[in-house]
Structure 1
Amino acid sequence: MAYQNFIPTVWSEAINRELERKLVFAEDCNRQYEGEVKKMGDTVRILGVGKPSITTTVDKEIVLKDPENVEDTSVTMAIRHISYFNFKVDDIDRRQAVGGVMDAYTSESAQGVANEMDKHIGSMALDKLAKLHAASAVAVTKSNILGEVDRALELLYQNDVNADEDIVMGVPPFFYITMRQAYTDLDTNNSAMLKNGLVGKYGHVRVKMSNNCAVTSNGEYRIMVRTKRAVAFANPMTHVEAYRPEKSFSDAVKGFSLYEAKIVRPKELVVLNVKRSA
């Protein structure tokens, strides 16, 4: 703010903040590896085991062959994403803002960083390991939307995901509205269900609404239907500090956060490949 243009004014005690975007994806990720990574560039190797072959015989003696060498699988997750901020508030501004402008900016910055994390997790739907439920995008309507969800669930069940497993799907607003029109039992009146974007249940599937669902360049949506084990997420370091810039009369705050997401159980994730109906 230019001091020569500043006219003392009574500032409102209420500061208008931008609408906060619901953060829904991180809550349903596997975060058990978070403690194993400490700084940007650290990598955690997640080991997976294969299945030994089973031999069945009828009315015959067991004849053991040489022991099988069961191949294992492993996934590496390197912590490479960093989001940061750096802002200042002039002393004269801070004195006039009785509503706490510095706290408001700090809160907005933290919300912005968290939103970047959520978008990154949502982008896992575009990963090469994410299996699409249909080769081409399906235009969803209230007459076919539940069938498409069932189609994705069938693919999960074929991969040995239990039918009573805790399954979650994060959907964009248009998909949720269409789904609710098709499924009248989708409940939005229970306040306990509204936490972190949760807007309803379809069978054993928790439906969460998010504006951070992945969208392709041609406007097709990628909606993850998954267990909580399918995607790993780590946020090993977040740092925030206040300081006084040398060449101005102001207070400043800077901060950063390190994070990474990775599909670690691809068989427990299916991606709905959909688009808006014309």
Structure 2
Amino acid sequence: MAITKFVPELWAAAVQMPFDRALVYAQPSVVNRKYEGEIRKMGDTVHVGTIADPTVRKYDKDTDLQVEDLADDQLDLKIDQGDYFNFRVNDVDKVQAAGDFQGPATQRAAFKMKDQLDRFIAGLHAQAMPANQLGTLEIAKDKPGQAYDTLVELSVTLDTADCPTDGRYVIVPPEFHGVLLRDERFVRVDAAGTDQGLRNGIVGRAAGFDVLKSNNSPAPKAGERVIQAGIPDAISVAQQIIETEALRSQARFADLVRGLNVYGAKVFHPEGIATATVKVVDTASAPATKTAK
């Protein structure tokens, strides 16, 4: 007997709930979805219109005002990524199973698809403008000031690029967070500015940032991890779980459940991202060294 009570919307919701809860790089405090619109299939493109900045001129009461036509352009956000799940539930296993099979299966599918999207967005750090890429730093575990100073440097870098201060975030790997926990400026509520987690993965505030922790921080080399700071307006994401369906297997006495997720992302404002590659080391005497970009 097939899954006769299958309702696509319910299965899609079961997939979406843990998917949204687990996002770090793809959550609204890190990226924006203002261009998402309607996505129907892989290969769709979201067209984003842009307008050049108007010219600001000196005013002279004895001179006629100059008029200019605004120049416009179009940037494309391509929906060129796709992931799917497709699992089988054998009739015999369904009968013999103690408990629900739908919940665990959909949750695991959601978390795996989440991980794919999160990793994809994490990889966009390389599109930060060159001046905002701080290079590689070595940080000793017992010198938390070095970790905190790295956040300060990222903040100053964004300031120099005229990046807005509202909504700034920084995503760090667990080992870097462990060093930060040894710095009282990060731990103390009065210094950090918050005593609770407000968003997915958030672990505190420091140097003007909401500090988030993620295992998906890119690792360009063994022992190195990329810290990414920025504002949500810098990266635009368009994503949707397109299809979730159940059907009867033609080859076995079983039901099939499958789903498709398509998405794309683009860095529209590279000046709104700053990065540092950090290597946490054990040696207490190790200085905070910086290598070439």
TM-based fold match above 0.5: yes
Read off the aligned partner of 2:280 and give its amino acid letter.
Answer: R
Specify the SS of the correspondent of 1:143: helix
- The change in CA–CA distance for 1:62 and 1:120 in structure 2 (over 3 A counts) is same
**Offset of 1:247 from its aligned partner?**
1.4
Q: Counterpart of 1:81?
A: 81
Name the CA distance, whole Å, in 2 between partners of 1:73 and 1:200: 39
Instruction: Identify the match of residue 268 of structure 2 among 257, 264, 273.
Output: 264
Q: Percent identity?
A: 28
**Offset of 1:56 from its aligned partner?**
3.4
Q: Aligned pair 1:221/2:222, yes or no?
A: no
Provide structure 2 residue ranges, at least 5 long, that are not aligned to the other structure. Answer: 1-20, 283-293
- What is the correspondence of 1:196-211 to structure 2 with a 5 Å cutoff? 196-211=200-215
**Offset of 1:219 from its aligned partner?**
4.4
RMSD over aligned Cα, in angstroms? 2.7
Q: Counterpart of 2:97?
A: 97
- Structure 1 runs (4+) deviating above 6 angstroms are none
Compare 38-47 and 203-212 and name the one that shifted more: 38-47
Read off the aligned partner of 1:246 and give its amino acid letter.
Answer: Q
Q: Counterpart of 1:15?
A: none
Tell me the alpha carbon deviations over residues 137-176 of structure 1, each in whole angstroms, 9 at most, x when there is no partner. 111242312222111111211222233x111111110111
- What is the correspondence of 1:168-187 to structure 2 with a 5 Å cutoff? 168-182=169-183, 183-185=186-188
Tell me the alpha carbon deviations over residues 211-247 of structure 1, each in whole angstroms, 9 at most, x when there is no partner. 1112214543222211111110111343111111111
What TM-score, normalized by structure 2, do the two folds share? 0.76
Read off the aligned partner of 2:239 and give its amino acid letter.
Answer: N
Specify the SS of the correspondent of 2:41: coil
CA contact (8 A) 1:169 1:223 kept: yes
Q: Aligned pair 1:137/2:97, yes or no?
A: no
Provide structure 1 residue ranges, at least 5 long, that are not aligned to the other structure. Answer: 1-20
Name the CA distance, whole Å, in 2 between partners of 1:162 and 1:195: 20
What is the aligned residue count?
253
Name the CA distance, whole Å, in 1 between partners of 2:237 and 2:47: 13
What TM-score, normalized by structure 1, do the two folds share? 0.80
Q: Counterpart of 2:11?
A: none
- The change in CA–CA distance for 1:149 and 1:54 in structure 2 (over 3 A counts) is same
**Offset of 1:131 from its aligned partner?**
5.4
Specify the SS of the correspondent of 2:200: helix
- The change in CA–CA distance for 1:127 and 1:173 in structure 2 (over 3 A counts) is same
**Offset of 1:83 from its aligned partner?**
0.5
